Structure 1
Amino acid sequence: MTFSPQDKSQFCRQALAHWPVAQQDLFERWARGPSAPPGHGCVHHAIERQAALAPDATAAVCQGQRISYAQLDRQANRLAMRLIEQGVKRGDTVALFVERSIPMLVGLLAVMKVGAAYVPQDARIVPPMQLAMVLEALSSRLILTLSPLLERLPETHASQCLCLDEFLAEVPWIAQDNQPVCAAVDPDDLCFVLFTSGTTGRPNGVRVSHRNLCNILLTEPGRMGMAPGRTVGQILNIGFDMAAWEILGCLAHGATLMIRGKHIAPMAAQCDVLIATPSILATLESRQCPLLKVVAVAGEPCPQGLADHWAGHCDFYNGCGPTETTIVNTLHRHVPGTLLTIGQPTPNNTVYVLDAQGQACALGEIGEMWAGGAGVTAGYLGNPELTAQRYRPDPFIGAGALMFRTRDLGRWTRDGQLEHLGRVDDQVKVRGFRVELDAVSATLEARTDCTRAVTLKLDDRHLVAFVSPAGVDIDACRRHCEQRLAYYCVPSRIYALDQLPLTSRGKVDKALLLQWARQRQAVKETGDA
């Protein structure tokens, strides 16, 4: 989506008529990112272009294994033909249950070449029950995986597995001919579906199109300095939306993807570009990463001190945006010593700060951030009701455009930057992943011996849960969560109480519980010391 002068005049006239003209001008200038064409409509077309320009360039390296752009393209074409033979067609959703590896890259590229959408899950750590729930929502019964992970997959007779490592071993990487796949793919076709935790305990699949993804990967500053001759770290879980930024952003720009093994630091020391959560970045030493030129963080609030430190070492970007607006829809290049913000809307995107009635807040006032523009995704897979709840018509753009309710609080600074001020509900970020606290509590309450449960965020890496009555089996509760939830959703501490404390209004006193949990944590840390 691009913004024409006619769009802009309509934007001010209809939505901000009650404001002085000067305020309208500021709102319009700050709320809209620049108009910039991505250059490609489909992500895999950009990757194919890099394979044609530099076929022998290294596309990826993983634990001593290397694949060139020509080899990656050939293998993906060969796999795409196999997918077609097995019934995968344009518009399908295909499970990609893998771990970080070169076969993973071949798998996702082949799915896109067919015109289907890949659905990534890290099968090493996602419980089989959660994988089964994801599979239920997909149109294709085929599972792309790796042979060592077969025992981790859910038992289902309706699905069939294709092991990518075995497929790649069938034909030598250099021996096979390259037969391009000529499937028709449109920019509005889905590229991937990313599942997040849901309020009902079932995951929600966010439908991300090629147009959505190209808009952030192929424009500035989202390209993050990725270019031929540069190395990009691949450190994130493939089930995390920011992993697409690392992987597809790197390959679309002809850089070399450095896929990490168990440890992050040795790989990060070899990279020019790194995309991470603040929690991961905080584990690295800048002096041990002398090659780093560009670092971007998102997924959770970034501490000012961390941003100041890394901004003194390289170009440092702080971003924000839910999966529903395609990875990030704001980015800010931070200058040490200045206020850390999430910046301004990225190209072809918008961000509005609105009050409870959906009206634009006065500039500088705190409100809820709504996101519009080219990054707004197509809603939730198989869930039109939830889509209608969270995606609304955009009154500032009109013409059928939608905006998404982020549930983030923010305000505009005096120089037109967005300041992130927390969440408006019980959806939190833990280790960079979105977690619905109510979904964790509902999982605990599903046990017959647990009548009430409350889950709280203890810090950026840990959840704490309280259950009642006092006789609840804590160890059984933890196992129950581990079997049904992603690892980052499992509470680090579970406490059983006879009754949960209530406020004067009859609601659970979460502030009191959190204070008590933090006191217990402080006592434990003091004892350990």
Structure 2
Amino acid sequence: MPLRHLTPRDQHLFWQYGRGAGTPVHEPLVHRAVERHAIVHPHAVAAEHHGATLTYGELDRYAGALAAHLVREGVRPGDHVGLFARRSIPMLVGLLAVLKAGAAYVPQDIGRASPERLRHVVRTAGTRVVLTHKEQAPRVPLPDGHRLIALDDPVPHQRASPILLPHPDDGCHVLFADDRPEAVKVTHRNVTNLLLTEPGGLGIRPGDRVAQLLDIASGPAAWEILGCLTRGATLVLCGADPAAAAATATVLVATPDVLTGLDPAGCPRLRTVAVAAESGPSPRLVERWSRQAAFFDCRRPAGAAVVSVMARHDPAAGHRAVCRPVPNTTVYVLDADRRALPVGETGEVWAGGDCVPAGHLGGAATAGRYAPDPFLGAGRAMVRTGALGRWTSDGGLEHVDRADGGLEHDGRADGGPATSRPAYAHTAPPV
């Protein structure tokens, strides 16, 4: 019994506080959730950018053609495909195409990342194929034998190749931190467990508008993009002015830095805002935005793949909401010997259940990240988040410090120039 050293009360609280609700996920593959909307509402607008729009039917058709092309290039489930792009409609098509081909996409903002950075990403993630914009192709340093495909070129009409479905525990995307060499491989199960259950789904529904403000290489950006498309809403891709995209949004997913740069008064249609960060937003930021919309404080520990705890702030309560595990996720506070600590004692925060990623790639810091989960058992794993924390008496998880350097990416909005608009032909998507 891994909990026998605790009192009966603390054994009970260990599970009461540390285990999220058991909730079924109706679709464990991200792209299949998007495809459902393309079938049911093919004419609904999936994305807007600089006056151009893309419907769900078009998104699915263009991505399907590109996915077949990727498969002909040898892409298979378990592979990693570079998505070195700027925020644009072709970027969305490329993202969905990689998932349809069964692979995981590796996003980098081609306008921000240096050649050295891109070279490291290609080497560490083991990408053999990279998608980018035609005008950016000279900036991509590819080793011999690697293949570069332009997102804005028409995809040739050829007979579709058979596409193998990935497993829910296969990779969905690979995320690199800004200032550290390692990356985390996030699975379809990690993503759908957050986005297709509540509160992680943020109540997003068809007709909503989700602003895409963040650096596409960040974890919170995946929440913006995939949280929108898996629920049939419209993704409003930011141009040079983040405030303009936010002004028409009903839902925002942001980091504290990005939210600080926006004015709630400039977002009159906003219904929901979620802030994803390791340590949480400041009380002033919470108070400022919770008067405008439903405000979710979401903690994204460095070692975990996605948000593992979150809470909706109630302005009338007069105090900070307590963050609790999301569905199908467990959170533990353990001592140096990985034994559970009682409520109120500070230790290392570990995460288990469906938020545990497929693994970390590269970097010495990956050693010791994972361990068998003695609490869930059945061959499950848990991951060290790199945070120190404790359970409060009311069941909230309070982060108090860092136990290591972490793996965090703040997801800044880049506000860079948009990619140029290509000629529209055959199955090439508009920007």
Pairwise same-fold verdict (TM > 0.5): yes
Report whether the alignment pairs 1:378 with 2:358: yes
Aligned residues: 412
The 3-state SS of whatever aligns with 1:89 is coil
CA contact (8 A) 1:321 1:328 kept: yes
Match of 1:405 among 364, 384, 391: 384
How far does the alpha carbon of each residue in 1:35-73 deviate from its partner, in whole angstroms, 9 at most, with x for none?
001110100010000111100000000111100000000
Extract unaligned runs of 5+ from structure 2. Answer: 415-431
Query: How far did 1:140 drift?
Result: 4.1
Residues 1:83 and 2:70 aligned together: yes
Matched to 1:412, the amino acid is: W
Q: What does residue 342 of structure 2 align with?
A: 362
Alpha-carbon contact 1:77-1:113 (below 8 Å) kept: yes
Partner deviation per Cα, 1:114-157 (whole Å, 9 max, x = no partner): 11111111111011111011111344422100123223222544
Q: Does 1:61 align with 2:40?
A: no
**Partner Cα distance (1:272, 1:180) in 2:** 39
The equivalent residue for 2:192 is 214
- Provide Cα deviations, 1:460-492, integer angstroms capped at 9, x if missing partner: x9xxxxxxxxxxxxxxxxxxxxxxxx9xxxxxx
Task: Judge conservation of contact 1:38–1:219 (CA < 8 Å) in 2.
Answer: yes
**CA–CA distance in 2 between the matches of 1:427 and 1:113?**
31
SS in 2 for 1:410: strand
| Deviation of the 1:31 alpha carbon | 0.4
Please give the per-residue CA displacement for 1:414-465, whole angstroms capped at 9, x wherever unaligned: 21111222312344857458xxxxxxxxxxxxxxxxxxxxxxxxxxx9xxxx
Alpha-carbon distance between aligned partners in 2 of 1:75 and 1:234, rounded to the nearest angstrom: 21
Amino acid at match of 1:206: V
Q: Secondary structure at the match of 1:397?
A: coil
Partner of 2:27: 40
Contact 1:88 1:140 in 2 (8 A): no
- The answer to whether the 8 Å contact 2:219/2:409 transfers is no
Alpha-carbon shift at residue 356 of structure 1 (Å): 2.4
The Cα of 1:94 is off from its aligned counterpart by 0.7
Q: 1:323 to 1:164 in 2, by over 3 A?
A: farther
Instruction: Report the equivalent of 1:154.
Output: 141
SS of aligned partner of 1:166: coil
TM-score by length of 1: 0.74
Answering whether residue 184 of structure 2 is matched by residue 194 of structure 1, we say no
1:272 counterpart letter in structure 2? T
TM alignment of 1:38-187, pairs within 5 A: 38-154=25-141, 156-167=143-154, 182-187=163-168
Q: CA deviation at 1:335?
A: 1.6
Matched residues in 2 for 1:432 and 1:423: separation?
Answer: 19
Picking from 332, 341, 359, the partner of 2:311 is 332
User: Given the superposition, is the C-alpha separation of residues 82 and 429 from structure 1 closer, same or farther in structure 2, using an over 3 Å criterion?
Assistant: closer
**What pairs up with 1:350-499 in 2 under 5 angstroms?**
350-381=330-361, 387-427=366-406, 431=410
- Between the aligned partners of 1:264 and 1:239, the Cα distance in structure 2 is 17
1:220-240 Cα shifts (integer Å, max 9, x gaps): 011112110111111111110
**Partners of 2:218 and 2:409 within 8 A in 1:** no
Deviations 1:335-370 (A, max 9, x none): 226433560000000111122232222212222211
Give the letter aligned to residue 162 of structure 1: I
Q: Which has the higher contact order (CA 8 A, sep 6+)?
A: 2
Matched residues in 2 for 1:342 and 1:45: separation? 33
Give the structure with higher Rg (CA): 1
Task: Determine which structure has the larger helix proportion and give its number.
Answer: 1
Which residue number corresponds to residue 260 of structure 1?
238
Structure 1 counterpart of 2:205, from 212, 221, 227: 227
Confirm or deny that 1:344 pairs with 2:324.
yes
SS in 1 for 2:223: helix
Distance in 2 (alpha carbons) for counterparts of 1:93 and 1:37? 28
Given that residues 15 and 395 in structure 1 are in contact (C-alpha distance below 8 angstroms), is that contact kept between their aligned partners in structure 2?
yes
Aligned sequence identity (%):
45
Paired with 2:411 and 2:78, the residues of 1 have a C-alpha distance of 30
Q: Is 1:277 the counterpart of 2:277 in the alignment?
A: no
Q: Is the 8 A contact 2:171 2:186 kept in 1?
A: yes
Deviations 1:318-338 (A, max 9, x none): 111235422211111012264
Which residue pairs with 1:5 in the alignment?
none
Structure 2 CA distance for partners of 1:430 and 1:251, relative to 1, 3 Å: closer
Distance in 1 separating the partners of 2:339 and 2:170 = 33
Matched residue of 2:277: which SS? coil
Distance in 2 separating the partners of 1:358 and 1:245: 31
Contact between 2:385 and 2:406, CA under 8 Å: does it hold in 1?
no
Segments of 5+ residues of structure 1 without an aligned counterpart are 1-13, 434-460, 462-485, 487-529
What's the offset of the Cα at 1:92? Answer: 1.1
Local SS of the residue matching 1:246: helix
Contact 1:354/1:368, CA 8 A, preserved across alignment: yes
2:170–2:358 CA contact under 8 A, matched in 1 = no
> In 1, Cα distance between the equivalents of 2:310 and 2:390?
15
What letter matches 1:32 in structure 2? R
CA contact (8 A) 2:68 2:161 kept: no
Is 2:251 aligned against 1:296?
A: no
Letter aligned with residue 184 of structure 2 = V
| Post-superposition offset of 1:388 | 4.8
SS in 1 for 2:105: strand
Closer/same/farther in 2, CA of residues 405 and 28 from structure 1, 3 Å limit:
same
Distance in 2 between residues matched to 1:279 and 1:88, nearest whole Å: 37
